[in-house]
Structure 1
Amino acid sequence: MTKKKISVVIPVFNEREILPLLFERLEGIETRHPEYRWEFIFANDGSSDGSDELLRRQGALKPNYCAIHFSKNFGHQIAVTAGMDYADGDAVALIDADLQDPPEIIVEMIKLWEKGYAIVYGKRRSRAGETFLKKKTAALFYRILSIMTDTDIPVDTGDFRLMDRKVIEVVRQMRESHRFVRGIVAWTGFSSIAYEYDRHCRPAGETKYPLKKMLKFAVDAVLSFSNLPLRIASYIGWLATLLGVLGILTVLYLRLFTVWTVPGISAVLVSVIFIGGVQLTILGIVGEYIGRMFTEMKGRPLYVVKGTDNIDLAGHSKKVEPHVFVPRERQLS
């Protein structure tokens, strides 16, 4: 009987301190579960701390440890996408390199997948090592997202999940530049189930998701899966118009039928400032959507691969474009 192949996609950005611990944990999974064929795909997102060298050494020792090396840092969600592009497994798991999500849980996810679920996503029961502010903002983010989008994106989840081959094939076809992978996966509509777990503290290194990146990620999520901001802009415009009409009628009434008058310059200044602020806000929202359309129309590749380890590109089943591969002898500097 042919063993099922499990691909594990791991985005890596400056994780030199934690990679040896990660290799040890992954090798333990292989040893305890020889009933599966394991493939580990590391998407090196332009690391500059020597992570690429550790990945090459591991790949030289174990041929099922594969690596994709980007020419520069393209971002976490793009790295996850590249890993899925190159994954050949019957099921594909996504997990970060920081070991906050225990890799051993992948085996439990496989059991649920074998029961017929196309998507098994990790749901965080607790979040050790995270600040009170981060926990609350994360909870608020998912609640707002659930209100603003029609796609049912599970709350208290990350990208840690396992997906059937058919899900991966659909996701591969979705090539938008501003990516929100967990939203894209949820959009496919395949059967899914949660596996609850306790998130651990990072054993080494520092988080690669500072506040600035988290805010950008939140904006990408909202704008990629909702047109509600545009609707809100329209509502604000209608409200401003209504208030303006009411203001004009009020001023006319006071002028014609009472002894009261409205000071001209004060009313004009307040009105101009209010309307100007509304217009700039709406213009900013519309401009953000137009900017994203412009980015998509340029048709640039999502990422540039300058080298790979243990991946046979000539015989690879990947049929997704656009991407750019630069052969090892012509690596970008």
Structure 2
Amino acid sequence: MRHHLPVRRDPAFAAAVRRPARAEPLARHDAVAAPPSPAAAGPPLQKLSLVVPVLNEEDAIAPFLARTAAVLAGIEGLTHEIVFVDDGSSDGTARVIEAAHLRDPAVCLLRLTRNFGKEAALTAGLEAASGDAVVPMDVDLQDPPELLAEFVRLWREGYDVVYGRRTDRGADTAAKSGSAGMFYALFNRLSPMKIEPNVGDFRLLSRPALDATLQLRERNRFMKGIFAWVGFRSIGVPYARPSRAVGSTKFSYWKLWNFALDGVTSFSTMPLRVWTYAGGIVALISMLYTLTIVLQTLLFGRDVPGYASLMAVVLMLGAVQLISLGIIGEYLGRLYIESKQRPIYLVRERLGLGGAVPAHETAPRLSATAD
């Protein structure tokens, strides 16, 4: 049997219940805006960062920005930033970029303390970029900005790396085209990791692919090999490489030779093995030659060849030894540079990327071949 206890009502509570609610002014409610629904807000915008290393390219900045801005304006759902990396220019390149930043805050400048080389400047720009995807490209318009729309489309389809593949190198001299073909063939022959011929730095990297790329901390940086080493789902977009719109190339044949040497020694130990094999072959030939001379002397009484043949053999062996020592020295030199743990680059100034940073405050996270 349930017992119901009497309910005691608070007189103040009873009065409040009996009192009619006071109407609030409508203006007060009208002043509070209702939060937009997720459907009305739409998906968040993606951000694309362009990384553009420059060296004495003051005349190329304006044409590059004009063509690039027109392309980026036609890509929906995308914001962008253009990170110029001034690699120690001695002309007015920095002033032109600063003026462009005043007109468009999306134009940013990362100014290095001196010339550290294109690979170091490219690394600096990749580290400074804040986009969901990053595209390294040249300012001379040999990397057509019109391909950016196709790069972004393929990235949105799920590819982490979208690279441009040159189908026509008509803008290059015959010597440069031939030497490039020889380099790609030699590299892929010597290195266990393959890079696709006629593919440069012009590519789109998703944020995961970029973060993986920046984990590779070597000072002697061969970016084409680094991009290939990290892997990820990739696809190529063929294009015809045009001539430079403004200016001239900063790469001499000597620089290209050293660049190729950096690429081979960074991703292959086969040159060291080649001279091990060459030494074994020369030793075998020497033994057979010595045995032949001994047999000819004992069986047929022939005189041992004299000074001329001896000098030829000595000079040949001396050349082989010098070349092998040179290759060993290349690898030892790179080990020496790595052991010093110097930064790849130092930053003199940042514009649009968080303000100016003194060079001595720059964190030595990664770095370049800076001798």
- Residue in 1 that maps onto 2:173: 131
Tell me the amino acid that sits aligned with residue 284 of structure 1: G
CA contact (8 A) 2:161 2:205 kept: yes
Q: Distance in 2 between matches of 1:164 and 1:147?
A: 29
1:321 aligns with 2:342: no
Q: Distance in 2 between matches of 1:21 and 1:182?
A: 26
- Residue in 1 that maps onto 2:143: 101
Q: 1:256: how far off?
A: 1.4
CA contact (8 A) 1:172 1:320 kept: no
- Residue in 1 that maps onto 2:159: 117
Q: 1:241: how far off?
A: 1.0
- Residue in 2 that maps onto 1:229: 271
* One of 57, 63, 67 as aligned partner of 1:21: 63
Residues 1:320 and 1:85: Cα distance change in structure 2 (over 3 Å): farther
CA contact (8 A) 2:218 2:367 kept: no
Q: Distance in 2 between matches of 1:313 and 1:113?
A: 31
SS in 1 for 2:237: strand
SS in 2 for 1:104: helix
Q: Distance in 1 between matches of 2:366 and 2:218?
A: 11
- Residue in 2 that maps onto 1:331: none
1:166 aligns with 2:204: no
- Residue in 1 that maps onto 2:82: 40
Using the TM superposition, name which of 156-165 and 258-267 deviates more.
258-267
Using the TM superposition, name which of 200-209 and 291-300 deviates more.
200-209
Q: Distance in 1 between matches of 2:96 and 2:355?
A: 21
1:240 aligns with 2:279: no
SS in 1 for 2:145: coil
Computing the radius of gyration from Cα coordinates, the structure with the larger value is 2
Q: Distance in 2 between matches of 1:181 and 1:321?
A: 17
Q: Distance in 2 between matches of 1:233 and 1:254?
A: 31
Q: Distance in 1 between matches of 2:205 and 2:366?
A: 23
Q: Distance in 2 between matches of 1:224 and 1:301?
A: 18
Q: Distance in 2 between matches of 1:134 and 1:270?
A: 35
* One of 10, 20, 41 as aligned partner of 2:52: 10
1:265 aligns with 2:307: yes
- Residue in 1 that maps onto 2:101: 59
Q: 1:142: how far off?
A: 1.1
TM-score (norm 2): 0.83
CA contact (8 A) 1:305 1:323 kept: no
* One of 87, 99, 103 as aligned partner of 2:129: 87
SS in 1 for 2:264: helix
Root mean square deviation, CA, Å: 1.9
CA contact (8 A) 2:120 2:367 kept: no
Q: Distance in 2 between matches of 1:66 and 1:21?
A: 16
CA contact (8 A) 1:85 1:320 kept: no
- Residue in 1 that maps onto 2:32: none
Q: 1:323: how far off?
A: 6.4
SS in 2 for 1:108: helix
**Equivalent residue pairs, number:** 322
Q: 1:306: how far off?
A: 0.7
Q: 1:322: how far off?
A: 4.1
Q: Distance in 2 between matches of 1:108 and 1:261?
A: 76
Q: Can you list the C-alpha shifts for 1:110-129, whole angstroms capped at 9, x where unaligned?
A: 11111111111100111232
- Residue in 2 that maps onto 1:328: none
Q: 1:313: how far off?
A: 6.2
- Residue in 2 that maps onto 1:78: 120
* One of 200, 223, 228 as aligned partner of 1:186: 228
Q: Distance in 2 between matches of 1:204 and 1:189?
A: 34
Q: Distance in 1 between matches of 2:90 and 2:307?
A: 59
Residues 1:320 and 1:152: Cα distance change in structure 2 (over 3 Å): farther
Q: Distance in 1 between matches of 2:89 and 2:146?
A: 25
Report runs of 4+ in structure 1 exceeding 3 Å deviation: none
Tell me the amino acid that sits aligned with residue 319 of structure 2: G
Q: Distance in 1 between matches of 2:286 and 2:323?
A: 17
